[in-house]
Chain A
Amino acid sequence: MSILYDERVDGALPKVDKTALLAELRARLPDLDILHSQEDLKPYECDGLSVYTTTPMLVVLPERVEQVQALLQLCHQRGVPVVARGAGTGLSGGALPLEQGILLVMARFKTIIEVNPEGRFARVQPGVRNLAISQAAAPYDLYYAPDPSSQIACSIGGNVAENAGGVHCLKYGLTVHNLLKIEVLSIEGEHLTLGSDALDAPGFDLLALFTGSEGMLGIITEVTVKLLPKPQVAKVLLASFDSVEKAGRAVGDIIAAGIIPGGLEMMDNLAIRAVEDFIHAGYPVDAAAILLCELDGVEADVHADCERVRAVLTEAGASEVRQARDEAERVRFWAGRKNAFPAVGRISPDYYCMDGTIPRRELPYVLRRISELSAECGLRVANVFHAGDGNMHPLILFDANQPGELARAEALGGKILELCVKVGGSITGEHGVGREKINQMCTQFNSDELTAFHAVKAAFDPAGLLNPGKNIPTLHRCAEFGAMHIHHGELPFPELERF
């Protein structure tokens, strides 16, 4: 079942006359940069999930909030769908354009308005890159904690829209835990301040609701993030295991010892070998799994915790435990993990990255099932895993040039996500639903829950003009998806208990 917008199951979109709209936009917003020719629109046909493409009707590149406001007012009056986009690095097709809609690119809002060390916050425009915030805060020994792997390129507006994560979430939280305030424009062009400069705000916690809402409720025009003092020291341990089960149990043992690592990552043998060939990080290529455990904080505590973790890992059956001897080796250990995706990209023409989360105790079972599903589909899967917080990134290896392989990769991906839901997890930990996982939403939520999501949407955007078709599937789509599944006998739990 295709994930591209399908009016038959995703709902009819308004019919918009491109020529008339372009003329009106030019008249009302003479200084707004508008792209309309086929060759100019082409680069915007996808986001980071590049296997799916749709050419937008128009692309607009505003530079001032007033332009965004006027644009939204016009779109609201004329019934024109609007898809917002930041840096376009999202991995779930959340910024996939619509042929009948405007793509609103917020990338030119690049100003860091204020870095306030006493208040430990930074106020920035939505197009500012994630890493640029930490760089601007670095002179004060402060940083912005969430660090998605795309942090050199991804923008903070997109981070908020997707509730982006990273490798340090267990200890430092997701984007939602690191925000103070956002300024947004509603589809009617009304300005709303959600959250505040204080630690809370009166009324419902709409800041939480908007974080991760995938551009469906409003357009973010400014973000105030919390800054944290940089940890004094960070140490990394690398532990090798001869089975993934042992590695999985070791993760629980570390937590049970009362230690919350800054980062706790796991990779399986296929991922280890791909990385070692590419980065020469010093990983043990014979290990069935490795754990990378980073401990950060004040020096005396980190030293004591390293000893505790080393003892726990040894007790858990690690065949080898190595501590990075110096900063260079620590960076090298991490470089391997951070380059896992491109490394896998070198051993396969294409790969498809999944993002399910599971309760950690289910890890051995889930990895065993993934390897069985992988064998059934005839496609290899490399596993990279934010072990500390249960967020898996199985990478499905395929070749898009081989007929049918993309479809098989999608089918395998869908089964892996359904497996995550079955063991009490979620179809997405940090990449978002977008269009990519729109069908699997029907597995995670029942029709009453999806109806409640549509009700939330209707409170902010009753005409459904903001990013139509993303995040929440229509009941019609789920009915077809469910019927298809039952027909193939692949989903034996249509009303699955999710615990």
Chain B
Amino acid sequence: MVAAQQFPGCDASAALLEQVNQALVSATPLRIQGGNSKAFLGRPVTGEVLDSRAHRGIVSYDPTELVVTVRAGTPLTELEAALDAAGQMLTCEAPHFGAAATVGGMLAAGLSGPRRPWSGAVRDMVLGTRLITGHGKHLRFGGEVMKNVAGYDLSRLLAGSYGCLGLITEVSLKVLPKPRACLSLSLQLDCATALAKLAEWGQQPLPISAASHSGGVLQLRLEGGEGSVAAARERLGGEQLDSGYWADLNEQRLDFFADPRPLWRLSVPLNTGVLSLPGEQLLDWAGAQRWLKSDADAASIRAIASAAGGHASCFTAGVCDSPFQPLAAPLLRYHRQLKAQLDPQGIFNAGRMYAEV
């Protein structure tokens, strides 16, 4: 067991609970904030700031258990450094979007990086959480074990909930060893050919862990044992690519993202072919995530995404009233009912995801 005192930390949960309880008494809406690196996502929220950052530090980390428990206000870089020192990693490669990004923000936004189609999303790493609810209680769900089906899975529900169901104070995550070998490649292929190849390779046990396409070039990352990576390198050909490319893609530092038009994210099925989109596009997740720079209106972009079996969200603030794709009426009703049950006064991040939630 790596002792908690090796990681400077502070348990500020009592103060957070106190602030929530006072907000409940005075009916004050709260705006949850960590490093503020993802404030541009979702709808604007008004309210008193509930800052998680004083509640920080790794609570426990035992690499042989493949589990780390960490307070929500901990900087994501601090967690990643501790894992890296033990030869492990967060497989979901969550984007930071800024140096101040926190673990709580990672979970609340639920965004995952290039490894997503092969290794899962943030929610897939979640084993347990602690949550301050709209009833003014500090609760624990899930735990620090790989398998746990006792009660409803509120822990994974919180991934991507944007703070609308309460304040996440702590999370236990499954972590994995870093791969022994890693190599990135680029291949000159047009989009249709690249998607066809990815569909073919996806059905084979190849050690692909990232695949993006833009400007007539397919970028691939291979991760695994030395043998499988070398064999795949031999088979796939192409030129070697600087591995820093993937962080630039994930953090939206590539030239593509400098285009001044609004940024849209289309999430579509893996077997979606070439989509004719009104603007510049960059494909990630082997085609399942498509970034679009476009001035087109939300309705027409969403119509294309929906027709492909997916959905579209706007990653540029202030472009449309509902950055996340609107929900079907019955689904929205259950979102409201769930929100009303867990946060009856509606004090947590009201309207961040949808005006009605």
Chain A contacts to B: CB under 8 angstroms: 116-121, 140-142, 162-163, 165, 169-170, 173-174, 176-177, 186, 190-193, 196-206, 208-209, 211-213, 216-217, 229-232, 252-253, 255-256, 258-260, 297-301, 303-305, 357-361, 386, 388-391, 424-433, 437, 441, 444-445, 448-453, 455-460, 471-472, 498-499
A453 and B123 CA atoms in complex are apart in Å by 19
Assembly CA distance A170 to B146 (angstroms): 7
Given A198-B267, A452-B342, A361:B137 Cβ within 8 A: no
Which one of A141, A205, A297 has the greatest number of beta carbons of chain B within 10 Å?
A: A205
* Cross-interface CB contact of A206 among B147, B157, B206, B310, cutoff 8 Å: B157
Interface code B18-62, partner A: CB below 8 Å = 1, 0 otherwise? 000000000000000000000000000000000000000000101
> Which residues of A are found within 8 Å of B156, using beta-carbon distances?
176, 205, 208-209
Chain A, Cβ-Cβ closest to B147: A429
User: Nearest B residue to A174 by beta-carbon distance?
Assistant: B147
A-B contact pairs, 9 of them (CB 8 A): A165-B147, A199-B289, A200-B121, A205-B160, A206-B331, A360-B64, A361-B62, A429-B147, A459-B334
In the assembly, what is the distance between CA of A451 and CA of B165, in Å? 15
Which chain B residues (196-217) contact chain A, with CB distance < 8 Å?
199, 202-207
- Is A212's CB under 8 angstroms from B143's CB? no
Q: Which residues from A are CB-within-8-Å of B133?
A: 452
B157:A163 contact, CB within 8 angstroms: no
- Establish whether residues A458 and B341, one from each chain, have CB atoms under 8 Å apart when the complex forms: yes
- Cβ contact within 8 Å between A455 and B157: no
Q: Which of B64, B151, B330 contacts A186 (CB 8 A)?
A: B330
Q: Give bound CA distance, A168 to B330, whole Å.
A: 36
Contact B227 A441 (CB under 8 A): no
Determine if B148 and A305 form an interchain contact, defined as CB atoms under 8 angstroms apart.
Answer: no
Q: Are B203 and A140 in contact (CB under 8 A)?
A: yes
* Contact assessment for B117 and A199 in the assembled complex, using a CB-CB cutoff below 8 Å: yes
Cross-chain contact B65 with A120 (CB below 8 angstroms): no
Q: Are A202 and B325 in contact (CB under 8 A)?
A: yes
Write the nearest CB–CB distance from A117 to chain B, whole angstroms.
Answer: 5
Determine if A120 and B342 form an interchain contact, defined as CB atoms under 8 angstroms apart: no
Q: Which residues of A contact B177 (CB under 8 A)?
A: 255, 258-260
Q: Would A209 and B157 be within 8 Å (CB), given that A199-B121, A300-B231 are in contact? A: yes
* B5 to A: closest C-beta gap in Å: 16
Q: Which of B70-78, B97-105, B238-246, B268-276 contacts the other chain?
A: B268-276
Residue of A nearest to B146 (CB): A389
Q: Does B278 contact A (CB under 8 A)?
A: no
Which B residues, 129 to 186, have Cβ-Cβ distances below 8 Å to chain A? 133, 135, 137, 139-141, 143-154, 156-157, 159-161, 164-165, 176-178, 180
Q: Are A229 and B148 in contact (CB under 8 A)?
A: no
Known: A197-B310, A259-B177, A298-B207. A192 touches B331 (CB 8 A): yes
Provide the residues of chain A in CB contact with B157, threshold 8 Å: 204-206, 208-209
Is there contact, CB below 8 Å, between A204 and B338? yes
The reply to whether A198 and B311 contact each other, CB–CB distance below 8 Å, is yes
Q: Which residues of B contact A120 (CB under 8 A)?
A: 202-203, 270-271
In angstroms, Cα B261 to Cα A87, docked, is 53
Among B135, B149, B228, the residue within 8 A (CB) of A433 is B149
Known: A203-B354, A456-B341. 6 other contacts (CB 8 A): A118-B270, A198-B269, A199-B270, A203-B327, A208-B159, A359-B62
Determine whether the beta carbon of A203 is less than 8 Å from that of B120. Answer: no
**Measured between alpha carbons, how far is A203 from B328 in the docked complex, in Å?**
10
Interface residues of B in 308-357 (CB under 8 A from A): 309-311, 313, 324-328, 330-332, 334-335, 337-338, 340-342, 353-354
Inside 8 A of B94's CB, which chain A residues have their CB? Answer: none
CB distance from A163 to the nearest CB of B (A): 5
**Nearest CB to that of B117 among chain A residues?**
A199
Partner of B204, one of A141, A163, A197, A305: A141
A456 in contact with B154 (CB, 8 Å): yes
Shortest C-beta distance, A118 to chain B (Å), equals 4
Knowing A142-B203, A205-B160, A212-B153, say if A298 contacts B148 (CB, 8 Å): no
Alpha-carbon gap, A298 to B60, bound state (A): 34
Contact B341 A455 (CB under 8 A): yes
Chain B residue nearest to A117 (CB atoms) is B203
Contact of A202 among B120, B148, B204, B313 (CB under 8 A): B313
Is A196 in contact with B148, judged by CB distance below 8 angstroms?
no
Q: State which of A201, A361, A445, A455 has its C-beta within 8 Å of the C-beta of B1.
A: A361
B63 beta carbon closer than 8 Å to chain A: yes
Contact pick for A453, options B143, B151, B353, CB 8 Å: B151
B264 at the interface (CB under 8 A from A): no
- Nearest chain A CB to B274 CB, angstrom units: 14
B227 touches A426 (CB 8 A): no
CB atoms of B124 and A173 under 8 A apart = yes
Taking a contact as CB atoms under 8 Å apart, the answer to whether B228 and A357 are in contact is no
Contact A459 B150 (CB under 8 A): no
Tell me how far the C-beta of B84 lies from the nearest C-beta in chain A, rounded to whole angstroms. Answer: 13
Check A456 against B338 for contact (C-beta < 8 Å). yes
B residues in contact with A453, CB < 8 Å:
151-152, 154
Complex alpha-carbon distance, A447 and B326, angstroms: 35
Question: Is residue B263 within 8 Å, beta carbon to beta carbon, of the partner chain?
Answer: no
Using Cβ atoms and an 8 Å threshold, which residues of chain A touch B268? 198
Q: A205-B157, A208-B159, A304-B226 are in contact. Are A430 and B147 (CB under 8 A)?
A: yes
In the bound complex, do residue A426 and residue B143 qualify as a contact, i.e. CB atoms below 8 Å apart?
yes
Check A297–B152 contact: CB distance below 8 A.
Answer: no
The smallest beta-carbon distance between B231 and chain A, in angstroms, is 6
Centre residue among B157, B309, B325 by max chain A CB count within 10 A: B157
From A201, A471, A498, contact of B311 by CB (8 A): A201
Would you call B279 an interface residue if the criterion is a C-beta within 8 Å of the partner chain's C-beta atoms? no
**Contact at A193–B328, with CB atoms within 8 Å?**
yes
Q: Report the nearest B residue to A212, measured CB to CB.
A: B149
CA distance A55 to B110 in the complex (A): 45
Q: In the docked arrangement, what's the CA distance between A212 and B231, Å?
A: 40
Pair B149/A177 contact, Cβ less than 8 Å: no
Q: Is B330 a contact of A190 with CB atoms below 8 Å?
A: yes
8 closest Cβ pairs, A-B complex: A300-B227, A301-B225, A119-B271, A429-B147, A208-B156, A298-B228, A258-B177, A389-B146
